[in-house]
Structure 1
Amino acid sequence: MGTLIGYARVSTQGQDLSDQLDKLAGAGCKTVYQEKISGVRADRPQLAKLMVKLRPGDVVIVTKLDRLGRSTRELLDLIDRIGKAGAAFKSLGDPLWDTGTPQGRLLSTLLAAIAEFERELIRERTGAGRERAKRDGVKFGPKFKLSAYQRAEALRRRSAGESMTDIARSYGVDKSMISRMR
């Protein structure tokens, strides 16, 4: 068996990690990556370090599932990455979540399939809604900051030699907008 590696996280600086650290030490974790950072943030440096250091046979342990990921998709992606590194994942507070057991692997596989199915349904509904909106005349993309008349006028002024900075200032837009006009 590889190394038992703990991961502890709290969302704010005012919260305390000691309860998680005690439980992870009690589970046999010699190394614990810890951070005080919101789970919503994608840039969790200690989690990134943990993922880089994983070796086949290692077991990543958390006290609760929500310490690893905030969304089901993120959680499943991280568990998948742990598995691809040849390691296992275990949540002390959620006994079914132990990918070192057949039941844990089955649960992960089923939830990943459900998440994939859900993504496909969302993609289909979004596509159908977009097509319906197009049929109804909805225009997609950014809104023009200048009207058609203002764009034509800006092009005439630029052709007449007026500086792009002056033209842009008169319309309250950035000079780059005037320079991109054709």
Structure 2
Amino acid sequence: MLKIGYVRLRDPRSTEDTASLKAAGCHVVRAEEPAGLAFDDSSVLNSIIDFIAEGDQLVVTRLGHLGSSARDLLDVLDRLESRGASLMIADAEICSLGEGGRALRAALGAVAAVEPPWAGRRRKGAPAEDIRALQAAGVGPVEIARRLGVSRMTVWRKLKEATA
């Protein structure tokens, strides 16, 4: 079994995390300097998951290195399981195999069920077309903001721009 460590840099504890991963027996430790805050752009994490083989283990010190929402974390777990690999969270001493894995998946599933659809995603605002389409369908600005996960001010600003 190959243990592959993953750490996101720009975290105040990233140096300690790298040492912890090596101490946890990781054969390889890959670090990623995130370009932004979006986890969708985690090219190092994606390449690890694409490379990882059956029986291998991805090791992180904290779940926060894998995603910013429960949905992101469940996606990583699903991708690892589809490859026959497992996840180990070193600080919590939880592995995605066995009882701990079932408990982890249940907890993340419960959190994902109550998270808003835009949780963990940085938004630069909703597309004006989406706002206008909802308004044309008779949806009010406050409800548009809620549905699209933006502020009411963003909705008002986009509607004003559309009429200008």
Question: For this structure pair, what is the TM-score category when the shorter chain's length is used for normalisation?
Answer: 0.5 to 0.7
- 2:78 maps to which residue? 80
Instruction: Give the TM-score normalised by structure 2.
Output: 0.65
- 2:126 maps to which residue? none
- Rounded to whole Å, the distance in 1 between the matches of 2:46 and 2:15 is 21
Q: Does 1:10 align with 2:5?
A: no
Percent identical pairs in the alignment equals 22
Alignment of 1:86-125 (within 5 A): 86-95=84-93, 97-100=94-97, 102-115=98-111, 117-118=113-114
SS of match in other structure, 2:68: coil
Q: 1:41 to 1:89 in 2, by over 3 A?
A: closer
* Stretch moving more, 75-84 or 34-43: 34-43
**Equivalent residue for 1:138, pick from 137, 140, 147:** 140
Contact 2:31–2:44, Cα closer than 8 Å, also in 1 = yes
Contact 1:8–1:33, Cα closer than 8 Å, also in 2 = yes
Which amino acid in the other structure matches residue 106 of structure 1? R
Q: 1:117 to 1:18 in 2, by over 3 A?
A: closer
Alignment of 1:13-24 (within 5 A): 17-24=14-21
Runs of 5+ unmatched residues, structure 1: 124-132, 148-182
Let me know the Cα RMSD of the aligned residues.
3.1
Instruction: Give the TM-score normalised by structure 1.
Output: 0.59
Runs of 5+ unmatched residues, structure 2: 118-134, 145-154
Which amino acid in the other structure matches residue 82 of structure 1? L
| TM-fit CA distance, 1:17 | 3.5
| TM-fit CA distance, 1:68 | 1.6
Which structure has the larger Rg? 1
- Equivalent residues, number: 131
- Rounded to whole Å, the distance in 1 between the matches of 2:53 and 2:106 is 25
